[in-house]
A and B are shown apart, each in its own frame.
Chain A
Amino acid sequence: MANQNVRAAGSSEPPALDWMSRTLQWGTRVRPDKGGVTLGALNVGIYGDIPDEWDDMTRMPRGAFPLRGVPAIGGYTQRRKADLWADNAAELYEEAISRGWVPARDVPWDQAMPLAEDVELAMAQVCTELSQEASIETEVLSGWLQELSFGYHEIKLFLATEVFDAGRHFELFRKRALINGAGLRLESPGQVNRMLLESRAGWTETSILLHLLRGCFTQTVYRYCAAYAPTDADAFIFRGALQDKARHLAYGMQHLRYAIAHRPDFDEQVQRFMTGAELSVTRDDADPVLWEALAIVFGRGIRHMDTGMNVVSRMRQDYVRTYLDRMKWAGIDRHARLLPAFASVLGLATSAA
């Protein structure tokens, strides 16, 4: 027997071992397949029963043997499946991990050679704003994590990968702005940032703003920057970020679709608040800095800025179309109610005010 002092400090009683029979379902045997053992594959038997509501306000794992009288921790306010669920979250979580990449090592930085001064400064301006967007995204997401119930751990885990992706993008664009001496440039106008941080109605509402409204914009900018990248390193950077962003949007779209299907009246609520949300975008859009910087990058210099600005116009149209298409896929048709300033990008007239 061990030293009595230590035994006294440890346990002087025979083991109770009463936990040994405390399981709600025994005999679960998930075996690896080609992709190993994935999160989604664990959803078998009671472990795959995903309730419409999860009242527990602690970190009890779904399917664990409950105990009476465990007090709430605080937070975990988003406890209805319709508040956060997306069927693709477990798959997106594993995809995020399997497609992880490392900016320090994977980007061919030696190919990010200095560009002409006007183009390099413009690229630094674009990267400064994208870095700030990513930084705000980390703040928005991480602020919500503790509000999301443990009954839906797939969502929490996927969003953890999104925080990590956004951190990677912050780092990535910061490095790109700084590598050639252009330095970080002007901060972004901030109206959409404010909207995202101040959105507290519920996770679904924030997710729509973050993933559909801002996310479609960021994705479109990444796509055009990849297509018009002035160096191989830039092409790599924007393609990598684009791949990550596609996952974030896939969650956002799927979740919105789920929420629309399961929350009565929510579609009309979305229609109402998106008008204000689009207004925030148009206020940022009135600022010329990002458009001019992109035009210089796309046109490869001030001399060809008109050509670049034509590309920017196409990009902005693509953004609005993408946003409308994805909202429609999720169950929200904004065509008839689009904010006029938004519709004008497409040359559309609307009846919305």
Chain B
Amino acid sequence: MTTITNSLPALKEYGREMGYDLGWLEASPSWGQRVEPGRGGLVLDDVEGAAPEAPDESRNLTGRPRGTLARSAVPRVGNYSVRTKADIWLRNAAELYEEAQQRQWSSATDIPWERVTALPDEIERAECQLATFLTEVEFVAGDVPGRWISSVTPDYFEPRMFLISQVMDEARHLDVFRKRALVNGGGLMQRTAAAAAVTGGAIDSARDFSEMSARLHMSGEGSVLTLFRIGELMAYNDAEKQIYRLAAQDESRHVAFGVMHLQYLAQAAPDRREEIQTYLDEAERNLVTGASGQNPASTGAPSSEALAVLLGHGVDNYDEGMRLLLAARQRQVREYFQRVKVAGFGERFENGRANKMLEQYVNAA
């Protein structure tokens, strides 16, 4: 038997003498640098110091994880349309992903369903109409981010991972609102009638990631988030309160992703600022008119009437419910203003570009 030392070259030589290839077994420049888990365990940001940073442009077309050593004979399988960092990046995607992991919940067991008790028929119908709307639209934010996951180079895996967590969150939202419609003597009600996908301008039809994100995260999900946040006002039991609370927690992450992405884009690609402003023009029109089909509070929609019934505690108090709904719409707009300002596009509210109808909402008594 050959006497060998434990040095890597010696071990490798020994292995080769035994007939193995071992050409892949090379010493690592970071050998000896152990990463210690922090208080929150071992999060992605902890280990990324040991791997290369995301490049400004990616030429990775083989699907290899960032930092992996490339081979020359691997087929180019990645038809990645998003290979420029500014087109997808944000500073805290890994953190948002880890938070999503930590805050998963179960619609089966974390909602106190036994607290749902019989409601007056008109209230139950309004609950079911709103739940039908939400179970229909929530997975828009599952299907569409899903499509983008496979379009983004794995060199930008942090935003991809966040989008993966969003797909999971939206599955749970579809599920929890379907459950709400079917647990209390009601049923599913009328579906929505949005038609924007045919003529473009819809979340589904966006052909640029930032455009999609402006429509989905800044506008669509932002408007739903406001309503989840006032869930206490339209909930009739602890189960509904818990649904809105937990869904708002998820939705906050999704909206934060959109805000932080636009913020990064504004700084990293200032030549795209005007283009982004046009998406915001569109987002504002959708918010006011409900054309996107994403805002349950938009005028004339069955879900909007259902909200007024819920907020007013019945059809007899519809005007009071409508007054509260208008206040909710104002809050939607105020929160939208805030998001746009944080993203770095607030000048539209100073230079007269913002949709005048938004001003009407905000300035209303």
Contacts and interface: CB of A to CB of B under 8 A. Distances in A.
Interface residues of A, number: 126
A10 B299 contact: yes
Given A64-B136, A104-B41, A146-B143, A180 B69 contact: no
17 contacts: A1-B323, A15-B305, A29-B183, A37-B113, A44-B182, A64-B189, A65-B190, A70-B195, A105-B40, A105-B41, A118-B11, A128-B68, A132-B65, A175-B44, A175-B47, A183-B28, A193-B63
Interface string B31-48: 111110100111110011
Contacts of B73: 189
A221 interface: no
Interface string B163-202: 1110110111011001101111111111111110110001
Contacts of A73: 197, 202, 204
A282 B303 CA distance: 55
Interface of B: 4, 6, 8, 11-12, 14-15, 18, 20-22, 24-35, 37, 40-44, 47-48, 50-51, 62-71, 73-75, 77-79, 97-98, 101-102, 104, 106-109, 111, 113-114, 122, 125, 128-129, 132, 135-137, 139-140, 142-147, 149-150, 154, 157, 160-161, 163-165, 167-168, 170-172, 174-175, 178-179, 181-195, 197-198, 202, 204-205, 288, 299-300, 302, 304-306, 308-309, 315, 318-319, 322-323, 325-326, 329-330, 357, 360-361, 363-365
Interface of A: 1-3, 5-7, 9-11, 15-17, 19-20, 22-32, 35-39, 42, 44, 47, 58-61, 63-67, 69-75, 93-94, 97-98, 100, 102-107, 109-110, 114, 116-118, 121-122, 124-125, 128, 131-132, 135-136, 138-143, 145-146, 150, 153, 156-157, 160-161, 163-164, 166-168, 170-171, 174-175, 178-191, 193-194, 197-198, 288-289, 292-293, 295, 301-303, 305-306
B114 to A, nearest CB: 6
A189 B29 CA distance: 23
Contacts, number: 409
A98 B104 CA distance: 10
Nearest to A183: B28
Contact of A42 (B42, B132, B179, B184): B179
Which of B109, B144, B304 counts the most chain A CB atoms within 10 A?
A: B109
A36 B171 CA distance: 17
A109 B47 CA distance: 12
Contacts of B108: 35-39, 94, 97-98
B322 A181 contact: no
Contacts of A180: 34-35
Contacts of B167: 142, 145, 160, 163-164
A295 B21 CA distance: 12
B204 A132 contact: no
B112 to A, nearest CB: 9
Contacts of A185: 24, 68-69
A193 B71 CA distance: 14
A303 B69 contact: no
A129 to B, nearest CB: 9
Contact of B18 (A121, A141, A306): A306
B65 A170 contact: yes
Contacts of B104: 97, 100
